Structure 1
Amino acid sequence: MTTDRQRVRAIVLRALLFTLLAVGATFVLDDYRNYQLAVVAATFCATAGLTLLVGLSGQLSLGHAVLMAAGGYGYALTAAPAAEAGLGGPARFGLGIAGALVLAGAVGVLLGLAGARLKGPYLAGLTLALVIALPAITTEVPGLGGGQGVGVPFEGVPDALRGVVGVEQWHAWIAVVIAAVAVTPLALMRSGRSGTRMRAVHGDETAARLAGISPARVKTKAFVAGALSAGLGGAVLAIVTQNVSHGAYDLAFSLLLLVAVVLGGLGSIGGAAVGAVLVVLLPWLIDTVVAGVGLPADLEQRLAGNVAVLVFGVLLVAVTVAWPGGLSHALGGRVSSLTHRLRPTRQAPQSLTER
């Protein structure tokens, strides 16, 4: 029987292995691919928190992009003044990350407290209203820059690594490490007692309450955990793009995050990674194919972005029908089947009458 210490050690070692593999992959990728890897890591932070929130605790969030925006603005509003004060290096970076966690965590606490009292479409409507109101909030609140957004200080390559890695590769390293720091606690929650309590609350709140579990506390904890992870993802995007504006966190992107976790598999951390890859790479791949077909310029302009939405819709229907558990469940089932086939079979011992 696996103990808690063995479970934690296995998850941490797995996270360390994937982090090292991702960092190693940056040496064989070009600059643009490293930029895409950084964006995938940032999106993974958001999808991992969202799949935990929806898949385990059963709270539907249609505005998860707001939490990423909170992290991005939190990073910008702390790192920019630090840069103006002459602070740089790890100290400025640490202050920016702390600002992202504080602002995203505060929004997560407020949504978690609301989620403890609202259910189903009411909570979904609240989160939807937030993402729709985000442009107005950034316009009315001083210091958020309105449509222009807020500038973020450039995070250059440290002196010790100059000549070894480029800027895009360095940013990919930052993104991968932050994603590991953000997602590993979620994986520990999912496989531990917190995950069990979330499943219990999702299954039957009355039964969970009779078992001594507080549904309000469990729901708030799930929202805060998802918000902190999404906030770190927003901070990564702020570092990579050197700007934070509400245009990057609109309703379409927020709904795309939800589609990603459904495609990958609700409640699965691996499914959240698959969904993050699809969100970043599939639209780029589709736009590349459309541009390579040689269509007229006006038709190509009308198809830009719309074809990706159509493909995501078709893919969502197909995956839901074929693999209700998501792509991670389908891939896991194929791997298990292959492992079972490759496993050597043991012949039953002959009976005394056959000898």
Structure 2
Amino acid sequence: MSAPAKDRANPAPKPTPPLWTRVISTPVRRHILCAVLALVVIVLVMESISTFRQSQLTSVAYLAIAAGGLTILTGINGQLSLGHGAFMAVGAYTAALMLRAQDSGWTVPLVLLAATVVTSIVGVIVGIAAARLHGPYLAGATLALAVAVPGLALYFSEYLGGEQGLVIPVPKVPTLLDDAMFFLTGNELSGTKFVSYISWVLLVIVFALLANVASSRTGRRWRAVRDDEVAAELAGINLGRARILAFVVSAACAGAAGAVLAMASRIAAPSGFTLTLSLTLLSAVVIGGLGSLSGALIGALLLTYIPPVVTNLGLDAGLSSLQSAELAPLVTGVFTVLVILFAPSGLMGIIRNRRLKRKGEK
């Protein structure tokens, strides 16, 4: 047998790829690694900031969770919703009723799970109707939902507290968790810090799950439905089922975010779930970039920190408290319009385009 024939019969073994390459070889592994690193960063940040900053970060987290779900619905599946504040209200009132129960033995994870499940059921009902609507009709229907749902608290005021809402007790910090955090960080776990940790751990879990779903076959089906309904249907994709599933996933995220909002603010009231909240979520998605979970987080960060910064600048410039407070939404609105005009793909779109441009130059 000749030498070339021997080489073909016994090919040289392929070199083993480096450990780092094997770790990040699949999207799931990359997402898990990012989640672990994010949890480490969360602990370091939470233990080095004040209670006020912790509460601000909690606001960022629950807005980002809801905006992440809306990103899946609008950015990836192509359905426009103006009513996600209503789903947050469902989650918030579910959590409030459970935590207010006399001698409540509900743990926070169970409360979050229940709020997510209840909101998912509502999402199925609304999603079935939404699957038949498109464009402005869907936007109008979800807009009506955002206006109507908070009013249910007034109609069922005996159970939901009416205009005053339901006051929620501070979630109890588990003794075991408190001892573990004191052993790791040397600091006690206060109520505000506990809720802040809950919100950010939930954010990491939700984003990891959404990223995995978006990169899976289900995510590709959602994109196919968004890009070309006819081609997707010819490919064997059930359009209605895909739309309903995306709506349910998005509603579940909003419900979990609403439960965190209720625990953070210690109250669930209709005034906290107005149309403004739904528009804020949509603005966060548009500013950060449609279809990008990182963009949803960036949008939530900006919409949380721009108002207080602008208000403080107005006070420093000699404006009254009322004028400074009214200046904040104006600046936020102008900033959103500028992003739409000069960066239609959002802030993450700018980063993505620059990255592609650099690769093209190489």
Same fold per superposition (TM over 0.5): yes
CA contact (8 A) 1:79 1:95 kept: no
| Alignment partners' CA distance in 2, 1:31 and 1:200 | 45
1:61-210 alignment to 2 at 5 Å? Answer: 61-81=81-101, 84-87=102-105, 91-141=106-156, 142-159=158-175, 160=179, 161=181, 163-210=187-234
Q: Output one character per residue of 1:4-60: Cα deviation in whole Å (capped at 9) or x when no partner.
A: 982111112112212321222111111100111111111110000011111111111
Normalization by structure 2: what TM-score? Answer: 0.85
1:267 alignment partner, one of 291, 300, 305: 291
Q: Which amino acid aligns with 1:135?
A: P
Counterpart in 1 of 2:42?
22
The alignment partner of 1:62 has SS state of coil
CA gap 1:236/1:339 in 2 versus in 1, 3 angstroms: farther
Counterpart in 2 of 1:48?
68
Structure 1 unpaired stretches of 5+: 346-355
Say which one has the larger Rg: 2
| Alignment partners' CA distance in 2, 1:21 and 1:273 | 15
Question: Kindly, what percent of the aligned residue pairs are identical?
Answer: 38
CA gap 1:340/1:285 in 2 versus in 1, 3 angstroms: farther
Aligned length: 333
Structure 2 unpaired stretches of 5+: 1-20
CA contact (8 A) 2:89 2:150 kept: no
Q: Which amino acid aligns with 1:268?
A: S
Give RMSD over aligned pairs.
2.4
Displacement of 1:63 in angstroms is 1.1
CA gap 1:155/1:284 in 2 versus in 1, 3 angstroms: same
Q: Which amino acid aligns with 1:85?
A: D
Displacement of 1:272 in angstroms is 0.3
CA gap 1:335/1:157 in 2 versus in 1, 3 angstroms: farther
1:231 alignment partner, one of 244, 249, 255: 255
The alignment partner of 1:143 has SS state of helix
The alignment partner of 2:39 has SS state of helix
| Alignment partners' CA distance in 1, 2:168 and 2:69 | 24
| Alignment partners' CA distance in 1, 2:93 and 2:255 | 9
